C-alpha cells in the first residue's frame, strides 16, 4: 500500500560532521525509529531532528558511546 507521507529532516548547525562510536548500532537505531514512524503513521508527515544534547539534560551518568569531533 502506498502511503502519503512527507519526511522532514532538520540538522542543527552545531552538529559535528563526524563522531566516534558504534556506526552500525547508530544506523540500526535510526532505521528502527524511522521505520516505526513510517509503520505507525497512516498519512501526514514525519519529522527527524538531530541536535546536540545539553549536558544538564542527560539523565544517564554512563560515558557516551559517541564523541563529537568538531569541524
**What are the extents of the domains in the chain?**
1-51
For residues 47 and 8, is the Cβ–Cβ distance under 8 A? yes
- Whole-model pTM? 0.64
Instruction: List, in sequence order, every residue forming a beta bridge with 67; answer none if it has no partner.
Output: 20
Question: Residue 31: what pLDDT?
Answer: 95
Q: Please give the share of the chain, as a percent, with pLDDT higher than 90.
A: 45
Rounded to an integer, the average pLDDT of 54-66 is 65
67 HSE (CA, 13 A, CB side):
3
Rounded to an integer, the average pLDDT of 26-48 is 92
pLDDT at 27 over 80: yes
Residue keyed to cell 542527560: 58
Q: Which residue has the higher pLDDT, 5 or 68?
A: 5
Amino acid at each position: 500500500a502506498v502511503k502519503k507521507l512527507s519526511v522532514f529532516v532538520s540538522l542543527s548547525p552545531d552538529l559535528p560532521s563526524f563522531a566516534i562510536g558504534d556506526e552500525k548500532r547508530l544506523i540500526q537505531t535510526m532505521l528502527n525509529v524511522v521505520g516505526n514512524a513510517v509503520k505507525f503513521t497512516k498519512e501526514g508527515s514525519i519529522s527527524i531532528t538531530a541536535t546536540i544534547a545539553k549536558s544538564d539534560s542527560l539523565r544517564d551518568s554512563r560515558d557516551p558511546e559517541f564523541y563529537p569531533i568538531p569541524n
